[in-house]
Amino acid sequence: MIPDRQILNRTAELLDSAVRQIDMLVAWLGGDEDAGFGGLATKGAVKELTRLGTEITAALSDASVFITDQWPYIENNKARLFEMGRFFEVYDRFHASVMAYDDARIDNEARADELLGYDMQPQEYVMIIARFDREFSFPKEHLNDVVNGYPAKHPLEGLADRLMHKYCIGVSDETLENLIRYHETPALKGTWIGDKRFATYFGHRCNLECADMNATFDFFRDDDRSRKIQLNYSKNDDIKVSGECELARILDGFPIDSIKYKL
């Protein structure tokens, strides 16, 4: 069942509401005495933005989940891409307004102190866009490629190269995409050369069954590299593998969550 496609519309409406409030505050901070009814509405705007911040974060999170879940239906569908493009136009306006708000705070310190006091609202909004700039980077790049007539970039381009020095060899970007997106295993296996705990982490992160990993990679004993063994998620658990480890940082640089098969 396809989720509610009105998620993007509802989120865009919230972003537009925030932009109207922010633009008024930016004008007032910049010295426009007529902005916000001579400043009378500025405190109300700050209060409204505080309320909207929580709603916007939740709505953008829903939009991100929606795009990720629906990506197989979106990436080659012109109508869906058009809808997504309209949404990102609003998001980009929101982004620009938030950055202008923070710049105005820095450039007009006295007025910012009068308006905000110790409230860190502009910085909090910057943190919101920093998070969702990362989450939306892949679909926005894909959309830009399609609009400009370029072939869409391979979603996992460069991943095999990043993994080959420390984790695995003998697999291509296409092999990894087919594995992660469709759970399709290759005719010729690659070799996992890293710690098997990281193999378990990779499998869990990419929603892969242990059988998928064993069908894709050969694993060897630590004390005898000539003897093949089977990866075992329970025996080679990743409990102590940090989400800040090098492998996690590598995977964070690719749209794994956007393409991985949902179990």
Beta bridge partners of 220: 228
- Which residues are CB-contacts of 189 (< 8 A; sequence separation ≥ 6)? 170, 215, 216, 217, 218
Tell me the average pLDDT of the chain.
85
pLDDT digits (tens, 9 = 90+) for 170-220: 898 888 988 998 898 988 889 999 999 999 999 999 999 999 999 999 999
142 and 14 in one domain? yes
pLDDT digits (tens, 9 = 90+) for 48-75: 999 999 999 999 999 999 998 888 888 8
Q: What angle do CA 198, 199, 200 make, to 5 degrees?
A: 90
What average pLDDT score do residues 146-153 get?
58
pLDDT of 3 > 50? The answer is: no
Cβ pair 154, 137 in contact under 8 A: no
25 and 67 in one domain? yes
121 and 28 in one domain? yes
133 and 196 in one domain? no
pLDDT of 136 > 50? The answer is: yes
Among 116, 147, 178, the domain-final residue is: 147
Domain presence at residue 72: yes
90 and 117 in one domain? yes
Domain presence at residue 152: no
pLDDT of 37 > 60? The answer is: no
163 and 55 in one domain? no
136 and 104 in one domain? yes
Question: Residue 83 has which token pair?
Answer: 């809808």
Name the pLDDT band for 1 (thresholds 50, 70, 90).
very low
Least confident window among 4-8, 9-13, 39-43, 156-160: 39-43
- Please give the pLDDT value at position 40: 62
Q: Cα dist. 245→8, 100, 198, 255 in Å? A: 34, 35, 10, 18
Rounded Cα distance between 35 and 20, Å, is 12
238 and 118 in one domain? no
- Percentage of the chain lying above the pLDDT 70 cut: 91
189 and 98 in one domain? no
What average pLDDT score do residues 29-41 get?
65
Range of the domain at 52: 6-147
Cβ pair 93, 15 in contact under 8 A: yes
61 and 138 in one domain? yes
Name the pLDDT band for 35 (thresholds 50, 70, 90).
low
- Please give the pLDDT value at position 262: 58
Q: How many domains does the chain have?
A: 2
Closest CA to 134 of 26, 257, 240, 33: 257
Among 118, 147, 176, the domain-final residue is: 147
Among 121, 147, 173, the domain-final residue is: 147
Cβ pair 255, 155 in contact under 8 A: yes
Compute, in degrees rounded to 10, the torsion defined by CA atoms 22, 57, 143, 84: -90
pLDDT of 38 > 70? The answer is: no
170 and 129 in one domain? no
- Please give the pLDDT value at position 2: 38
**What SS3 string covers the chain?**
CCCCCHHHHHHHHHHHHHHHHHHHHHHHHCCCCCHHHHCCCHHHHHHHHHHHHHHHHHHHHHHHHHHHHHHHHHCCCHHHHHHHHHHHHHHHHHHHHHHHHHHHHHHCHHHHHHHHCCCCHHHHHHHHHHHHHHHHHHHHHHHHHHHCCCCCCCCCCCHHHHHHCCCEECCCHHHHHHHHHHCCCCCCCEEECCCHHHHHHHHHHCCCCHHHHHHHEEEECCCCCCCEECCCCCCCCCCCCCCCCHHHHHHHCCCHHHHCCCC
- Please give the pLDDT value at position 168: 93
CATH code of residue 56? 1.20.58
pLDDT digits (tens, 9 = 90+) for 69-108: 888 888 877 777 878 888 998 999 999 999 998 898 888 8
Sort 108 into a burial class: Cβ within 10 Å, 0-12 / 13-18 / 19+.
middle
- Please give the pLDDT value at position 263: 52
186 and 141 in one domain? no
Q: Specify the amino acid at residue 4.
A: D
